[in-house]
Amino acid sequence: MKTRLICMYSMAAVALFSLFAFRSANESELTLLMRDIFDEAMAAKQAIAAGEEPKFEIDLDAILTAKATVDAKTSNPNYRPRAEAYLEAMEAFKTSEVAQRKKAFNAVVDACMACHRSVCPGPMMRIQKLYFKNTD
Ligand code: HEC
C-alpha cells in the first residue's frame, strides 16, 4: 500500500515536471522578446492616439540573437534581412515628425508582418490589430 502511494506521488511529480518542461520549451527567448515587443507597440499606438510620447525601453537588437522555439525560424534566410528591415523601420519611427508618426508606425507594423509572413504566420492576426486604420 505504502509503495503504491509513493509510486503515485512520483508519477504525479514526473507529470508536473514534464508539464513545466513543455511550457518553458514553448517560451523561448524570442517568444518572450516578441511578447514585450507586442506590448510596447500596443502601448506606443495608444500613446500616439492620445497625443502623447511613446516610450521605448526594449533592447531591440536582441531580435538578431534571441533563440526561437524552433531553430528553423531564425535560420530561415529571410529572417535576418527582415529583422534588419524592422530595426530600420523602428529607427525611422523613433525619429519621425509628430505629424508622420502614424504612417511611420504602420511601416513598423508592415515590417513585423513581412517577417511573420515568411517565417511564422501564426501571430499575424494579432499583429494586424496594431495598424492605424486612419493615418491622418
Ligand atoms: C525578423 C522576424 C520577426 C520580426 C521583424 C517580428 N517578429 Fe514576431 N516573431 C518572430 C518569430 C520567429 C516568432 C516565433 C518565436 C519562437 O517560436 O520562438 C515570433 C513571435 C511573435 C509573437 C508570438 C509570441 C507568443 O506569445 O507566442 C508575437 C505576438 C509577435 N511575434 C509579434 C511581433 C510584432 C508586434 C512585431 C513587430 C513590432 C514582430 N513580431 C516582429 C519573428 C519576427
In a domain, 3, yes or no: no
Residue 106 domain flag:
yes
14 domain-assigned? no
Segments of the chain with pLDDT less than 50: none
Nearest alpha carbon, ligand 1 atom 35: 38
Residue 80 Cβ inside 6 Å of ligand 1? The answer reads no
pLDDT at 102: 98
Please state the pTM of the whole predicted model: 0.86
Please give the residue range of the domain that contains residue 74: 27-128
Is the Cβ atom of 76 under 6 angstroms away from ligand 1?
Answer: no
Q: Which residue is associated with the grid cell 492605424?
A: 132
- What cell numbers appear for 87 in the block? 530595426
- The confidence score (pLDDT) of residue 13 equals 72
Sign of CA dihedral 27, 131, 42, 37: positive
In a domain, 136, yes or no: no
Q: DSSP string spanning 68-114?
A: PSSHHHHHSTTHHHHHHHHHHHHHHHHT--GGGHHHHHHHHHHHHHH
